[in-house]
A = this chain, B = another copy of it.
Amino acid sequence: MEKLMARISREGDIHSGGVLKVDSFINHQIDPALMYDCAAELLDRFKDRNFNKILTIESSGIVPAVLAGYIAGLPVVFAKKTKPISMGKAYSTTIHSFTRDNDYEVMISEEFLTADDRVLFIDDFLAYGNAALGMIDICRQAGASIEGMGFLIEKKFQNGRYAIGKSDASVKVESLAIIESHLGF
């Protein structure tokens, strides 16, 4: 997607460890108009799929996921990193973050993900694919099917697409901007 790629070229910064900083329009300051266009483009790429719910993980994934949910008229569920005191039974999984070099747990209440759900997962980044694998695990626990996984930015050199394919070869993966190497596009 031309518009997103151009913005990354102009404002993105590659830091050590392959961290791409896009804090001025995605991860800290948000450009809602650009995010809306990204959400619409992701939906367009999955228009051949039949999904009834959009899934994401807090926090940055919430932005494109909610805008996609608004455009498509679908509910959005975001996996939570801390268990609210009022949460009942939940599916959970552990995700390893290479960026922070730590493990964190995410959970989705059993109320909001069931075997009737056909999910489109949307997130800001596809890096090593660990967050995506965690969501595949949670969907398996719930018996929900994953119709697709859409990302704003894919860091191709971290091979997340390969990791998703190994876990579930049937999942369609789309990314709006693909970064080929540590050095940039």
Interface residues of A (CB under 8 A from B): 13, 15, 19, 21, 23-24, 27-33, 35-36, 58-59, 62-63, 66-67, 69-70, 73-78, 80, 84-87, 99-100, 108-109, 111-112
Contact = CB atoms under 8 A, between A and B. Distances in A.
B70 A36 contact: yes
B69 A66 contact: no
Nearest to A107: B28
B70 A111 contact: no
A23 B109 contact: yes
Contact of A100 (B62, B69, B78, B85): B85
A76 B59 CA distance: 14
A107 B15 CA distance: 20
Contacts of A30: 66, 69, 75-78
A80 B29 CA distance: 10
A116 B80 CA distance: 34
Contact of A62 (B62, B85, B86): B62
A63 to B, nearest CB: 5
Nearest to A90: B28
Contacts of A66: 30, 32, 35, 62-63, 66-67
Contact of A76 (B15, B19, B32): B32
A8 to B, nearest CB: 14
Nearest to A36: B70
Given A58-B58, A59-B62, 5 more contacts: A13-B86, A30-B77, A32-B67, A33-B70, A62-B66
8 contacts: A23-B111, A28-B78, A28-B84, A29-B112, A30-B69, A30-B75, A62-B62, A66-B66
